[in-house]
Amino acid sequence: MQTLFRYNWQVREDWYHWCEEIMEEELLLNRRGGVGGILQTLFHIVDVEWSWIRVLQGKSDFQESFEDFKSLEKVRKLDAKFKLEVESFVLNWNESVENNLLHDTLPDGRITTDTWGEVMRHVIAHEIHHIGQLSIWARELGRQPISANLIGRGLTPLAEK
């Protein structure tokens, strides 16, 4: 679990560096097939990750508004702020909480029950999905996207030796 979160954090940081070379207008441009544009997608990834972790911890969740974070610097600062809490939770993850249950009431009134492990894997997959969208948009801009390769990032214990 930790490896894939660390992977997502590395790839996200690579995308932030990639964005430094792109005009802000391009980062804010609403694009087809996503939650807005490049910057809004990065904001969405950060917000969703933090929100799910807070829910698992039994803490209140609130939606940040992208309107308050319409710059690369502001999204990065929000990410750094939220990551403190997220990283602590992820690094303290252990098998004993894998099957804890989360009961949630959907907007239509239905009640769902999911395991914490399922939620954590959803958070990982959610970011990977949106990183794929960023890659498509990078190509539309004539730019090389960030590599999605997990290999060679030094994330596994053997790779760290």
Strand ranges for 86-138 from DSSP E: 101-105, 111-115
Residues 6 or more apart whose CB falls under 8 angstroms from that of 68 comprise 74
Cα 124 to Cα 1: distance, rounded to the nearest angstrom: 9
Q: Tell me which residue has tokens 């005009």.
A: 23
Q: Is the pLDDT of residue 71 over 90?
A: yes
pLDDT at residue 160, as a whole number: 52
Q: pTM of this prediction? A: 0.93
Strand ranges for the chain from DSSP E: 101-105, 111-115
* Mean predicted lDDT score pLDDT of the chain: 94
Domains of the chain are: 2-140 (1.20.120.450)
Long-range contacts at 92-99 (CB < 8 A, ≥ 24 apart): 93/1, 93/2, 93/120
The proportion of the chain whose per-residue pLDDT surpasses 70, expressed as a percent, equals 98
Q: Which of 114, 117, 112, 113 is nearest to 97 (CA)?
A: 117
Q: Give the angle 14-5-116 at the CA atoms, nearest 5°.
A: 150
